[in-house]
């Protein structure tokens, strides 16, 4: 546990008044973790900080927007709503001085002072592997994420991701398919589900013994600035981060960079040089990330944390001439005709059979191995 102000030096739960004061501070605009730490170091408790004169806040270099909002009815109502939320089953609030606060996350200099959790907060202390990637992932990329997550979760790792569309969603679903556990770190408040189409997935995560996590006040909407903050929590909770598919501009690379800065392992799955979604992973590998072609490449580094035995290896054994070509790179039917020497009729018939077996898929006229 990191050394914090006197407020966070004891594991004793705060009084009801102090708890409300912490929540009110947390709801103030422009008051992030480091500014909150500065306040608590100066005043000792959240209650004292709230009652201090505005001039004392200005002397600490805090913006007027923080001190001016302290006594607003909006902030008071947010705090009251949060306290009512905590009375419901499965809703939890972890603070820096809580015995349940995850130790790995506490190592960060900007660790969230408060973490809202719906579901099982105990998961946050278990060995986790983060999986992230493109929101607009290809079908093979989604399949790879699903299979890696399924294998790692079946072996005992908690799969942590960001509940986004694409690779994140596939990673959560893979863990659920294996009857494993998964944590979704959100870039909104827990009462503002984003993206809306993952509402059912979020409910399934909680119902299966997983958890939804956010540092943001409960009703915080989606905002571009929230997601980089979310990413540091994803990497901070985890032993390592696996990037499955990402373009050079993907936010997943931010998560990978944060993981490296936090001393976590960074893994990346390579792809075809012709696939834009592989370029971010290739950049990570050039920068020192571990190239991953199978589950074993991850287990070699993390085996000491959990006795994980791979349920599925990736990629699956190749036993078909067209699959050998497609594992090398996605191709059109016409390109497969030229590469294989088969007739178009033979290629299309074989692809149809492989597609029915779930071993290939077609996107925008190009065939991919699964």
d(CA 190, CA 231): 16
Residues 76 and 20 in one domain: yes
Residues 9 and 132 in one domain: no
Does some domain include residue 101?
no
Residues 279 and 130 in one domain: yes
pTM: 0.81
Under 8 Å between Cβ of 92 and 71: no
Number of domains into which the chain is organized: 3
Does some domain include residue 109?
no
- Burial of 239-267, coded b for 16+ CB within 10 Å and e otherwise, reads bbbbbbbbbeebbbbbbbbbbbebebbbb
Per-residue pLDDT of the chain (370 residues; tens, 9 = 90+): 222 333 344 456 788 999 999 999 999 998 888 898 889 889 999 999 999 999 999 999 999 988 889 888 999 999 999 999 999 999 999 998 788 899 999 999 889 999 999 999 999 999 999 999 999 999 989 999 999 999 999 878 999 999 999 999 999 999 999 999 999 999 999 999 999 999 999 999 999 999 999 999 999 999 998 999 999 999 999 999 999 999 888 889 999 999 999 999 999 999 888 888 899 999 999 999 999 988 888 887 776 665 444 444 444 455 688 888 887 778 888 888 888 888 887 888 888 888 878 888 888 778 888 7
Residues 247 and 133 in one domain: yes
**Rounded alpha-carbon distances, angstroms, from residue 200 to 81, 169, 212, 220:** 24, 11, 13, 20
Residues spanned by the domain of 361: 321-369
Does some domain include residue 104?
no
The tens digit of pLDDT for each residue in 253-301 reads 999 999 999 999 999 999 888 888 899 999 999 999 999 988 888 887 7
Q: What residues are paired with 268 via a beta bridge?
A: 243, 291
Residue 189 CB burial class (10 angstroms; 0-12, 13-18, ≥19) = buried
Does some domain include residue 365?
yes
Residues 240 and 189 in one domain: yes
Residue 151 CB burial class (10 angstroms; 0-12, 13-18, ≥19) = buried
CATH of the domain at 252: 3.40.50.450
Does some domain include residue 315?
no
Residues 72 and 127 in one domain: no
* Length reported for the chain: 370
């Amino acid at each position: 546990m990191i050394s914090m102000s006197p407020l966070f030096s004891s594991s004793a739960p705060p009084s009801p008044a102090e708890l409300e004061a912490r929540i009110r501070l947390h709801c103030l605009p422009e008051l992030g973790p480091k500014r909150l730490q500065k306040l608590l170091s100066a005043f000792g408790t959240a209650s004292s900080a709230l009652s201090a004169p505005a001039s004392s806040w200005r002397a600490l270099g805090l913006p007027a927007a923080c001190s001016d909002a302290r006594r607003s009815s909006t902030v008071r109502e947010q705090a009251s709503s949060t306290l009512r939320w905590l009375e419901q089953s499965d809703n939890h609030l972890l603070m820096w001085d809580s015995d349940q606060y995850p130790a790995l996350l506490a190592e960060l200099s900007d660790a969230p002072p408060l973490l809202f959790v719906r579901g099982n907060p105990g998961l946050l202390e278990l060995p986790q592997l983060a999986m992230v990637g493109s929101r607009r992932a290809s079908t093979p990329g989604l399949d790879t994420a699903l299979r890696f997550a399924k294998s790692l979760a079946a072996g005992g790792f908690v799969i942590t991701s960001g509940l986004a569309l694409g690779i994140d969603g596939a990673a959560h679903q893979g863990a659920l398919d294996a009857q494993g556990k998964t944590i979704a770190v959100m870039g909104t408040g827990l009462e503002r589900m984003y993206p809306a189409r993952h509402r059912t997935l979020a409910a399934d995560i909680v119902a299966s013994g997983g958890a939804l996590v956010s540092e943001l006040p409960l009703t915080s909407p989606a905002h571009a600035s929230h997601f980089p903050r979310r990413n540091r929590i994803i990497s901070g909770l985890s032993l390592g981060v696996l990037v499955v598919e990402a373009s050079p501009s993907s936010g997943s690379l931010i998560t990978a960079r944060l993981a490296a800065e936090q001393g976590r392992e960074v893994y990346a799955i390579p792809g075809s040089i012709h696939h834009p979604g592989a370029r971010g992973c290739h950049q990570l590998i050039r920068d020192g990330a571990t190239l991953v072609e199978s589950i074993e490449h991850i287990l070699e580094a993390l085996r000491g944390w959990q006795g994980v035995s791979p349920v599925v290896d990736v990629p699956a054994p190749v036993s078909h001439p067209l699959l050998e070509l497609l594992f090398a790179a996605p191709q059109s039917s016409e390109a497969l005709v030229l590469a294989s020497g088969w007739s178009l009729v033979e290629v299309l018939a074989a692809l149809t059979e492989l597609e029915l077996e779930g071993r290939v898929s077609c996107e925008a006229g190009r065939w991919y191995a699964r």
